[in-house]
């Protein structure tokens, strides 16, 4: 699967899920640099670095970019809908730490993951890759 097809698939899924496409692309950039074969230190899988133990999909299934995008977007939507931090996309902490872990952060804007995703979002904003 080419990077262009991955980007297109992420954009379509993000629009369907009500997530800003630049945020979704930024998360993938931060999590895996768009590497479909990325495996994290905790066995996070592929583009969205989905932890298999929090997914209905197996490790093998999560290596499929289409399944990984679908599951990653579902998890982003869950974080957005359930995180106590709502303003300025601070719900991203709940994607990174889980809803319970994200709720413990007192100043989300100072959290490094938030800063990384927001910086990557600016990169996509200026590239016009998400069609904005």
pTM, two decimals, is: 0.92
pLDDT tens by residue, 64-106:
999 999 999 999 999 999 999 988 899 999 999 999 999 898 8
Strand boundaries in 7-124, DSSP class E? none
Does the pLDDT of residue 125 top 60, yes or no? yes
- What average pLDDT does the chain have? 93
How many angstroms separate the most distant Cα atoms in the chain?
A: 40
Nearest to 114 by CA among 79, 80, 85, 89: 89
Question: Cβ distance 95 to 24 under 8 Å?
Answer: no
pLDDT tens by residue, 12-31:
999 999 999 999 999 999 99
Which pLDDT belongs to residue 130?
Answer: 55
Distance set, CA 13 to CA 16, 70, 97, 106 (Å): 5, 7, 22, 31
d(CA 105, CA 89): 14
**By percentage, how much of the chain surpasses pLDDT 90?**
83
Does the pLDDT of residue 62 top 90, yes or no? yes
CA dihedral 13, 7, 84, 114 (to 10 degrees): 180
- Find the mean pLDDT for residues 105-119: 92
Tell how many helices (H) and how many strands (E) occur in the chain: 6, 0
């Amino acid at each position: 699967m080419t990077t262009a097809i991955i980007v297109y698939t992420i954009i379509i899924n993000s629009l369907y899920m009500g997530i800003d496409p630049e945020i979704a692309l930024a998360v993938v950039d931060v999590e895996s640099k768009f590497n479909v074969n990325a495996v994290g230190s905790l066995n996070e899988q592929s583009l969205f670095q989905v932890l298999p133990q929090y997914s209905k999909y197996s490790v093998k299934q999560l290596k499929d970019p289409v399944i990984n995008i679908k599951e990653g977007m579902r998890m982003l939507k869950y974080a957005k809908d359930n995180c106590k931090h709502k303003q300025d996309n601070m719900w991203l902490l709940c994607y990174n730490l889980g809803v319970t872990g994200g709720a413990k952060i007192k100043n989300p804007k100072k959290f490094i993951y938030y800063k990384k995703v927001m910086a990557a979002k600016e990169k996509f904003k200026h590239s016009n890759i998400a069609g904005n």
